[in-house]
Amino acid sequence: MASFDKADIEKLIDGVLPWPATQEMLKSSKDEDRFDKYVEIMQERVDFDDPILLPLTPMLFIVNDKGSRVVKCKCGHSFGDYRVNWKLSALIYVRDDEEKLRQVYVGREMPDPAWLQLREYVCAGCGSQLEVEAVPRGCPPDFEFLPDLDTFYREWLGRPLPDTCEFKDATLDKINEWSN
Amino acid sequence: MSATASSTTSNTPLRDRMHANDEAFKTTGSVFGLTSLARKEDDPGTYEAVWHILSNLCNTAWATGCKVSSSPIAAEGGDALWALHTATGEAVCISRGISAHAGLLSDMIKHFIELGYEDYPGFKQGDIFENNDPHYGGIHSPDFDMCMPLFYQDRLVAWASCVSHVSDSGSVTPGSIGFLNPDCYSDGIPISMERVGEHDAFYPWYEMRIRSRTRTPDFVMGDARGRLAGCITVRERLHEVLDKYSLDFVLDAMNEYVEDSRRYAVKRVKTQTVPGRIRKSQFKDLAMKGKRVLLSKQNIDCMFNLPMDLTINADASVDLSLAGASGTVPFGENISPTALKSGLMMGYSHVIGFDMFNSGPTTAWNVEMPPGGSWANPYPVDYQAASGVAWAPAVTWLSSLYEVFGRLFQMRGFVEEMAAGSGSIMTAEFAGINQTGMYLTGLTLEQASQGSPARGYSDGQNSAWCIYTPEGDFGNAEVSELYYPILFLGRNVAPDSGGFGKFRGGLGHTAVWMVYNTPGLEYQCGDAGMRSKTVGNHGMYGAYPTVPDRPGYGHKTNLKQLIDEKKPLIHERGGPDNPAVTSKIIAELAEDSAVAPFVTPEALVDYDVIVHPISGAQAMGDPIERDPESVVSDLNEGWTTERVASEIHGVVTTQPNDHIVADIDATVKRREQVREERKQRAIPFREWWSEERKKVEAQENMDNAVRVMWETSMRLSPEYGESIRKFWNLPEDFTFTPDAD
């Protein structure tokens, strides 16, 4: 089983690992400790101390915040319960007319705003652009991934988390709150 | 050694063996009930060696068959595939080429067995069976699927199979990308689960049918002979392998390769992904209103809903649903579930099961049948649905699979395995008399060489990849010029065609052709999976998706005059707001931003120009995170523009000499400013939702194609519809209302 230095994994993440070493990583059997090393690297790079449970994206992390599992940006801004689509707690900028779309796509490259809106999800803390959606009006935001965290830790990693949390999509609960 | 359901000494009818295999899988969770891999464990060296021999045998068939074929699509583009199967149809290994078909070929063999063909007309050495009919599992009429039973010592021990994409399928319009076909009756020549030859030769009436019902019969028959030659190659080489390694060993090993591959895929899911639920929306346009169409019902614009709802279970099995898929369209862009699943098998092999590409990995899926009457499951609700280019929505949907698994790999830290979404597939097809006086119709292979997706650690590669084949190969320009009455004026890397992100997708290219030496040529800018009104929903980690597909052309130009006067011609596309087709030449009809797909309103003539762009692939990451040095490198290469560098990536540059350099300090300041501007202009999601839900309910600024899409999606998948109503807090009886006809 292959094993890679943490320093090389960091270089890979930063896109500066030389190609022969990258190829070696691609070809080798995967290292069993990668997840732990990756989390360790990310933990060193974020601006908060809460332990990372899962790197949801390179910028967003599910963390244990004093017993609660919440999504946090690298900068520390919190998006709340990981079972609610974090986008509901983000800032959003929507390009749904030609003027706004033209700032990204000019001339013949511009899509038709009657067919598509470009939704930019922004962190209120650091201003990072976290996701962009290109969908027609009416499309709910994609909840790209709801992890089954307890199964992951208990059955796949073999080390259960100290507490458990029901695996359910709670996004519509939040919408219900807003609707009422 | 564990007992196998598919015993190598069994004389049991194939259909019974197939059912026993299914039962064994249900009971044990292992393909053929193989709870251990005895041959692999006993003799791993020979096991591995035979795998490579069998794979190479398929590749030999590919090389032989493509050369025998002689059609430009196979001979130059390699657009074909050969495979070796078990006696019960599971694909064991495949050649290079269009790997999307392996599942179709496997299902076709199983279908022949299930339908009782073993009893009538029977299987014997030298029989040739074919299908291209979507009603019986085919993908689309130009893809002729063939299989031949392979006998050894008087026993049916395996199957050889092949698919080749013919240059003309006899559909209502010339060529093989029949997006304009209004119904299945216009899809072209059907070969409906037929025995088309015996004793290694086609029936005379098979050739007679092709001669009377396709426009390029010499090429179509050439392809048929190429398929046959490749399958015979498989048979002959397999005999050598069986003589050398013994029948028992090879047949056992063939079964084990399939189960081995399943185990590999399951293990990969478990060790490199995370259990949970994934949702990815995807959409595709087909805007045909006001264009040259065949029937009045086609004078419409369409939008496809291509949702991907995927769950990774605790046992690493994968559930997949297309709930929400929109309704069929009156064009050749509907696909049978069998064909869709085959495409999925290919996509999955790229991202998960690529150690041994065969039927194994897909056995760990539970694919929910797509909603009846949707583009992904048209029959029998819309029995007349056309499938002329059924790949179009399928590959666009499949693009989500790359991003979805890229996200999962990231979560486990396997950054080297990440990929963003794919490029789109816009084809160029010609029909007319060529320079030798020969009528010709067919594809160029330009679209088979797109940019590759951005990786977690780097940009994608330029013109090096294609979603439907592992080999990005657009063939030689000079050979295309021999077949078609065109001359290449340019083949250029297309700037800014790989999206905008921390890592960009590999760039696509633009082909610039001049029509030459023909009395008239039809240019069909085809849809094999492109977008023209929209962009892909591939804003992975904050990137902007690739630009829409917008080709151009100039009709009745001044090119001859420019040539005579030895003046500069048109060799590239020009900027998005400075197109070469209108700024560098004069034309009576100049179109730089045509909404694809389309057929030119009238035949093109000598010295007309076509500007055909090929997509780059998708990017990932916040564009202002892109290394400023990568941005200036692209600027110096001519691969990006000053506007994108400055306004999208926030890079400030200077040009002290001929070379552009980044001003790092100014860039850091500019990027801080961009972050602040973003926070200022964006609003809390809840605030937006409160206003947006009113616009959704009022169906404000929603094109009719979008409303039709939502209406059919919600009707065909009631639970999906309910989730949309709940999200926007819409009335219980709310439906989107398309325009009255």
Q: Using H for helix, E for strand and C for coil, what is the string for chain A? A: CCCCCHHHHHHHHCCCCCHHHHHHHHHCCCCCCHHHHHHHHHHHHCCCCCCEEEECCCCEEEEEECCEEEEEECCCCEEEECCCCHHHHCEEEEECCHHHHHCCCCHHHCCCCCCCEEEEEECCCCCCEEEEEEECCCCCCCCCEEECHHHHHHHHCCCCCCCCCCCCCCHHHHHHHHHC
Closest chain A residue to B593 measured between Cα atoms? Answer: A108
Mean pLDDT on B209-236: 97
The answer to whether the CB of A69 falls within 8 A of the CB of A82 is yes
| Neighboring chain B residues of A127 at a CB cutoff of 8 Å | 674-679
The residue extents of the domains of chain B are: 55-262, 419-621, 623-681, 685-728
- CA gap B551, B426 in Å, rounded: 9
pLDDT score of B7: 44
The H-assigned helical ranges of B300-420 are 337-351, 391-412
pLDDT digits (tens, 9 = 90+) for B533-568: 999 999 999 999 999 999 999 999 999 999 999 999
pLDDT digits (tens, 9 = 90+) for B580-636: 999 999 999 999 999 999 999 899 999 999 999 999 999 999 999 999 999 999 999
Cβ-based neighbour number of residue A125 at 10 Å? 18
A residues 70-109 lying closer than 8 A (beta carbon) to B: 87-94, 96, 103-109
Mean pLDDT on B368-390: 96
**C-beta atoms of A137 and B700 within 8 A:** yes
B residues 349-408 lying closer than 8 A (beta carbon) to A: 404, 407-408
Which of the four pLDDT bands, split at 50, 70 and 90, describes residue B5?
A: very low
| Neighboring chain B residues of A152 at a CB cutoff of 8 Å | 274-276
- Closest-CA distance of chain B to residue A149, Å: 8
Which of the four pLDDT bands, split at 50, 70 and 90, describes residue B524?
A: very high
If DSSP codes are grouped into helix, strand and coil, which group holds residue B544? strand
Using the Cβ of A173 and the Cβ atoms of chain B, whether some distance falls under 8 Å is answered with no
pLDDT score of B8: 43
Phi-psi region of B246 (alpha: psi -120 to 50; beta: other; left: phi over 0): left
Which of the four pLDDT bands, split at 50, 70 and 90, describes residue B6?
A: very low
User: At a CB cut-off of 8 Å and minimum separation 6, what does B541 contact?
Assistant: A57, A58, A59, A130, A131, B501, B502, B620, B621, B622
Helices B685-698 and A171-179: crossing angle, nearest 10°? 80
pTM of the complete model: 0.95
**C-beta atoms of B592 and A178 within 8 A:** no
A residues 26-55 lying closer than 8 A (beta carbon) to B: 26, 30, 32, 34-35, 37-39, 54-55
**Kind of pairing, strands B486-493 and B521-527?**
unpaired
- CA gap B335, B341 in Å, rounded: 10
If DSSP codes are grouped into helix, strand and coil, which group holds residue B688? helix
- Which of A35, A28, A22, A19 has its CA nearest to residue A157? A35
Cβ-based neighbour number of residue B296 at 10 Å? 9
Residue B3 has pLDDT above 70, yes or no: no
Q: Which of B267, B685, B690, B714 should be substituted to probe chain A, the one whose Cβ sees the most A Cβ atoms within 10 Å? A: B685
* Alpha-carbon distances, residue A5 vs A17, A32, A37, B193, B411 (angstroms): 12, 13, 9, 56, 18
Least confident of B17-31, B361-375, B462-476, B508-522: B462-476
Q: Give the 3-state secondary structure percentages of chain B, helix then strand then coil, rounded to 5.
A: 40, 20, 40
If DSSP codes are grouped into helix, strand and coil, which group holds residue B653? strand
Torsion of CA B37, B42, B46, B48, to 10 degrees: 40
Residue B362 has pLDDT above 90, yes or no: no
Cβ-based neighbour number of residue A166 at 10 Å? 7
Closest chain B residue to A52 measured between Cα atoms? Answer: B411
pLDDT score of B77: 77
Mean pLDDT on B278-292: 97
**C-beta atoms of A91 and B684 within 8 A:** yes
pLDDT score of B10: 61
- Closest-CA distance of chain A to residue B78, Å: 27
**C-beta atoms of B685 and A88 within 8 A:** yes
The answer to whether the CB of A65 falls within 8 A of the CB of A72 is yes
- Closest-CA distance of chain B to residue A56, Å: 6
- Closest-CA distance of chain A to residue B55, Å: 19
**C-beta atoms of A115 and B726 within 8 A:** no
- CA gap B146, B153 in Å, rounded: 23
Q: What are phi and psi of B366, to 5 degrees?
A: -120, 100
CB pairs under 8 A between A and B: 263
Stated as kind and residue range, the H or E segment containing B53 is helix B44-69
The answer to whether the CB of B535 falls within 8 A of the CB of B616 is no
The answer to whether the CB of A111 falls within 8 A of the CB of A119 is no
**C-beta atoms of A134 and B674 within 8 A:** no
B/e letters for A69-105, b = 16+ CB within 10 Å, e = fewer, are bbbbbbeebbbbbbbbbbbbbbbbbbbbeeebbeebb
- Closest-CA distance of chain B to residue A72, Å: 15
pLDDT digits (tens, 9 = 90+) for B642-676: 999 999 999 999 998 889 999 999 999 999 999 99
DSSP state letters, B112-151: HHHTTTIIIII--TT-EEEE--GGGT-S-TTEEEEEEEEE
- CA gap B97, B689 in Å, rounded: 47
Q: What amino acid is encoded at A13 in this protein?
A: I
Q: What amino acid is encoded at B326 in this protein?
A: S
pLDDT digits (tens, 9 = 90+) for B132-188: 999 998 999 999 999 999 999 999 999 999 999 999 999 999 999 999 999 999 999
Q: Which of A145, A157, A174, A180 should be substituted to probe chain B, the one whose Cβ sees the most B Cβ atoms within 10 Å? A: A145
Using the Cβ of A133 and the Cβ atoms of chain B, whether some distance falls under 8 Å is answered with yes
CA A72 from chain centre, in angstroms, equals: 9
Q: What amino acid is encoded at A31 in this protein?
A: D
pLDDT digits (tens, 9 = 90+) for B188-214: 999 999 999 999 999 999 999 999 999
- CA gap B270, A1 in Å, rounded: 16
**C-beta atoms of A111 and B678 within 8 A:** no
| Neighboring chain A residues of B643 at a CB cutoff of 8 Å | 106
Mean pLDDT of chain B: 94
If DSSP codes are grouped into helix, strand and coil, which group holds residue B298? helix
Torsion of CA B686, B688, A119, A14, to 10 degrees: -40
The answer to whether the CB of A107 falls within 8 A of the CB of A98 is no
Using the Cβ of A172 and the Cβ atoms of chain B, whether some distance falls under 8 Å is answered with yes
CA angle at residue B116 from B114 to B117, to 5 degrees?
110
- CA gap A55, A35 in Å, rounded: 10
Mean pLDDT on B211-221: 95
CA angle at residue B620 from B390 to B445, to 5 degrees?
35
- CA gap B145, B719 in Å, rounded: 37
Q: Tokens representing B587?
A: 């034309």
Q: Tokens representing A15?
A: 């896109």
pLDDT score of B65: 95
- CA gap B134, B425 in Å, rounded: 21
How many alpha carbons fall within 13 Å on the CB side of residue B340? 27
Q: What amino acid is encoded at B250 in this protein?
A: V
pLDDT score of B658: 86
Partners of residue B539 on adjacent β-strands: A132
Q: Which of B270, B415, B688, B732 should be substituted to probe chain A, the one whose Cβ sees the most A Cβ atoms within 10 Å? A: B415
pLDDT digits (tens, 9 = 90+) for B689-739: 999 999 999 999 999 999 999 999 999 999 999 999 999 999 999 999 999
Residue B415 has pLDDT above 80, yes or no: yes
Q: Which of A8, A89, A105, A139 should be substituted to probe chain B, the one whose Cβ sees the most B Cβ atoms within 10 Å? A: A139
Smallest Cβ–Cβ distance between A37 and the set B314, B413, B647 belongs to B413
Q: What are phi and psi of B632, to 5 degrees?
A: -70, -30
- Which of B739, B649, B704 has its CA nearest to residue B533? B704
B residues 607-666 lying closer than 8 A (beta carbon) to A: 621-624, 627, 643, 647-648
Per-residue HEC secondary structure of B605-648 comes to CCCCEEEEECCCCCCECCHHHCCHHHHHHHHHHCCCCHHHHHHH
The answer to whether the CB of B616 falls within 8 A of the CB of B498 is yes
Q: How many residues does chain B have?
A: 741
With a cut of 50, list the residues of chain A below it in pLDDT: none
- CA gap B706, B31 in Å, rounded: 43
Q: Tokens representing B468?
A: 């439907």
User: At a CB cut-off of 8 Å and minimum separation 6, what does B4 contact?
Assistant: B24, B32, B33, B34, B252, B255
Using the Cβ of A157 and the Cβ atoms of chain B, whether some distance falls under 8 Å is answered with no
Strand order in the sheet with B598-599: B439-443, B426-433, B521-527, B598-599
Place of tokens 């070493």: A21
| Neighboring chain B residues of A15 at a CB cutoff of 8 Å | 457-458, 503, 627
pLDDT score of B357: 87
Q: Which of A57, A126, A129 should be substituted to probe chain B, the one whose Cβ sees the most B Cβ atoms within 10 Å? A: A129
Q: Tokens representing B580?
A: 């070469």
Asked if the ipTM is above 0.90, the reply is yes
